Chain A
Amino acid sequence: MNLGFVLTNEYIGAVSTDKFGKLATWEIKEDTRKHEDKIDECLSLVLTRPARKKKSGTIRRIGIVTDIVKTALDNPNELDKVTLVRLSSPEGKDCPPLVTDFLSNEILTTKIIAGGRGFDGRIISDVDLKQVEDAYNQTKNVSPSFVVSSPFSILFPEQEEMVRKSLLDLGAKKVWTTADVSSLPSILDRETTAILSAASSVVLEKFYNKIRHSLQQFEIGIDPYFGRNDGTVALGSFVKKFPLDTYWSVEGCSISGIARSSRTRRGLVAGRSAHKLWLGGYSDGAPLLRQIGFVGNMLVHVDNPILADLTDYDHNESTKFICEAFFDLVGTHTIVVTGLEKSKKFPFPVKHAHLSKVAAAFNVATAGVKFRASRCKAKGVNVEEAKKRFESWAKTQFVSMGGVRSSFNLSKVEIIPAYNLPEGSVRLNVIATGKAGQD
């Protein structure tokens, strides 16, 4: 059997599935304690009963979906301190990163050092490794995590890579480069994405370690999967490097869970997270996604479900318009409600309300792995050669996310013009999908 757990600010839930992947049992409980304080109780919802204990030897997979990263970024006291090493001088000394005041004052140290490329690859400045060493020495006792950014690094990543290597050689434990976290143009937004990833990684890592420890108490040694924003799953060891991938995971996995359980290709899901009433759509079982989203008022380059906030729903024309627009977007009038059983406010006929808040847990117990990435290439690069290397890298990443090697399916590889990048640049997109399972 597979087990799935949902662990949010307001409630915990758990499901088990039979060997065919059908929902067997589920439990849900309101619980507003801190996330780490309720891990054991969440696991025990399906693991402490004698019947379950007996079957625990046949557990094939465990999935967890949580809003712990979202909670941490809303209340950022537990975040790691981060040093941003921006390779742009002489430019950019007066252009602060676009993060909130709290992060800017309490979490972040910024070092602007020589480096950077122009739109045509020209070098603005060479990297001075002495400056890198100075930046490291000045901040190593304050910040365990480093972010390296550089203009046009999505086309010319060499300087970021050189500084990452240098920082690791100097003793840095964790280094993110902006080209790592995003292939989209806009250095400031890539920086925000990398800074928030670096700052929140520790939260997800601690949570992951506590989950593993708690599972060991139940004599379960399985490496758990985590739900991601797009409704797929990946191993904890992978997502702690990209924690923002779990930021909207409760909503994303709820949408996917409803889609999977209702066995409909298209539909709308109305759900509730904290005090927000949201509406999302799905197509082919996956949430409708955007490549960018907001964390607070900070723009980040991470897939997020397209959600309409209906919290202030008052039957007015605008809200009705949003609902009808979603019908048009997904091409159906089917609405499935999760977590809103008692709500009388929703104006459209609904179905499949029974799955409730465990939709997300059901999803992580049964969902597959998806690897999706983009790389940008400057004019003059041998694109076909780059494409081959990219495909091979996609397979490695897919397996490291917890995908079954034999199920690896390269479902999309495309070369498209790169909008908002210099003329002649191209973007390589790859999507690989397959089953979750550890070889």
Chain B
Amino acid sequence: MDETALTDILYGSIILAAGGGGPVQSGKSLVRSMALSRIRPKLIPFESIPNSSKVAVPIAMGSCATLLENFLDFQMIKALKIFEEQVGKVDALLPVETGQVNTLAVLYTGAKTAIPIIDADGTGRSIPEFKNTVFYSARVDPNPFVMYDSAGNFVVLHASKIDEVDRLGRTICTEMGGLCGVCGIQISGEEIKRIAVPNTISNCLRLGKVLRENRGSRVVEALVKCTDGFLLTKGRIAKIESKVAHGHDYGMMEVKGLASYKGKDVSIAFKNEGLIAYLNGKPAVISPDHIFMIDLLTSEPVTFTDVVPDLLVAVIALMANPKRRTKLDYDGFRDSLRDVGYVGEYVPVEDLLNGS
């Protein structure tokens, strides 16, 4: 896996980050770090994980503000080492979500420790809360949950139930300076095969390659084709409102359709990640289905961190992996969706768009 492949994975992971996933710069820095130190992550195909494998989930935990300003490097490796002291040697790593920070942070941690990474993840996209993961849906034991900060402080959290991990973890993370490396969720290869979303890293590689090879006027159509996605609109960002509350970025963004897309206005409600998109006021994409945006002038995928009024973007909707379209999975998204004002049921994006 050379720097080009790692960069493709980075860009593919931004596409699957649902407009969130943390600062792009953090992911770029991890790619550069692996490229310059000539260390490479090793991927294990999803289907070939031995059932008896002991798998850990490293997580980069922190707010956007701290990830933009502070550095994430040794903290996850230290957390992994302490996790191994608790549970024994780990055979493989699994990203908790797909996004420019967490996908690359796990690849980096695996490359540094020579532990292979499974071509899969715990969500199939980026998510704002731990309860949006397959680990929550499947009620996996999250313990021990090791958190390590840059000053050398660490906490080995044993939560009484998985619901408590997010609440306690965020409080501890804030006290740790808003950024820490985490390693938790001891899980077997067998369980991974049952619950995880397969082939997400190879999917990122594929999407990043399509983006790289089609930069310019063809990029939107190429990405829609290769993702089986739905082009909601092309237009300018007319409005973006956001506020920080309880460690999350909440907001609403409106894209006004232009030229042949005039009359196709999209608004997206986000809590770190985009959770629901409305087309002309009607729900069009409900999590776990998701959206991504492409800057039409630079062909760069953009996140809610980057957007500014008048940016010209295409908004594309993607279907969630079928494994994530269960009632149990949607239940994990209910609270997050309620926080951004949606209390209805899940309807797949293809049904919403075909019915509109």
Contact = CB atoms under 8 A, between A and B. Distances in A.
A118 interface: yes
Contact of A325 (B71, B244, B296, B308): B296
A294 B298 contact: yes
A94 to B, nearest CB: 4
Contacts of A120: 177-178
A76 B225 CA distance: 39
23 contacts: A91-B72, A91-B150, A95-B73, A96-B29, A98-B28, A98-B29, A118-B66, A118-B70, A122-B177, A124-B177, A185-B65, A185-B69, A306-B310, A307-B297, A318-B221, A321-B234, A321-B261, A322-B217, A322-B297, A322-B312, A324-B258, A329-B310, A423-B244
A186 B259 contact: no
Contact of B258 (A91, A308, A312, A328): A328
Contacts of A306: 297, 310
Contacts of B73: 91-95
Contact of A95 (B33, B178, B242): B33
A178 to B, nearest CB: 10
A312 B297 CA distance: 13
Given A312-B216, A325-B235, A94 B37 contact: yes
Given A116-B70, A290-B308, A318-B217, 20 more contacts: A90-B151, A92-B73, A96-B32, A104-B36, A118-B66, A118-B177, A119-B177, A122-B177, A151-B71, A187-B68, A188-B25, A188-B28, A291-B308, A307-B297, A316-B217, A321-B234, A325-B258, A325-B259, A420-B64, A422-B63
Interface in A77-108: 88, 90-96, 98, 104
* B33, B70, B73, B298: most-surrounded residue (chain A CB, <10 A): B70
Interface string B70-101: 11111000000000000000000000000000
A309 interface: yes
A152 B216 CA distance: 35
Contacts of B33: 94-96
B236 A91 contact: no
A329 B308 contact: no
A interface majority secondary structure: loop
B65 A422 contact: yes
B260 interface: yes
B220 interface: yes
B222 to A, nearest CB: 11
A98 B25 contact: yes
Contacts of A322: 217, 296-297, 312
B298 to A, nearest CB: 7
A214 interface: no
B323 interface: no
A74 interface: no
Contacts of B244: 422-423
A382 to B, nearest CB: 22
B283 interface: no
Nearest to B240: A419
B69 A186 contact: yes
B23 interface: yes
Contacts of B151: 90, 124
A120 B175 CA distance: 10
Contacts of B28: 98, 188
Nearest to B71: A92
A419 B108 CA distance: 29
B37 A318 contact: no
A119 B71 contact: no
B218 interface: yes
B156 to A, nearest CB: 21
B202 interface: no
Contacts of B32: 95-96, 98
B305 interface: yes
Interface string A152-191: 1000000000000000000000000000000001111100
Interface in A286-325: 288, 290-291, 294, 299, 306-309, 312, 314, 316-322, 324-325
A119 B36 contact: no
A94 B74 contact: yes
A421 interface: yes
B51 to A, nearest CB: 34
B70 A186 contact: no
B258 to A, nearest CB: 5
Interface in B278-307: 296-298, 305
Contacts of B217: 312, 314, 316, 318-319, 322
B33 to A, nearest CB: 5
Contacts of A122: 177
A284 B310 CA distance: 16
Interface string A258-300: 0000000000000000000000000000001011001000010
A268 to B, nearest CB: 14
* B69, B74, B221, B310: most-surrounded residue (chain A CB, <10 A): B69
Contacts of B37: 94
**Which 8 residue pairs spanning A and B have beta carbons closest together?**
A92-B71, A318-B217, A324-B259, A94-B73, A91-B71, A118-B177, A185-B68, A151-B69
Contact of B25 (A189, A316, A423): A189
Interface string B217-251: 11011000000000000111000001110000000
Contacts of B260: 317, 321
Given A318-B217, A321-B258, A119 B23 contact: no
Interface string B6-40: 00000000000000000101001110110011000
A179 B63 CA distance: 21
Contacts of A119: 63, 65-66, 69-70, 177-178
Nearest to B77: A94
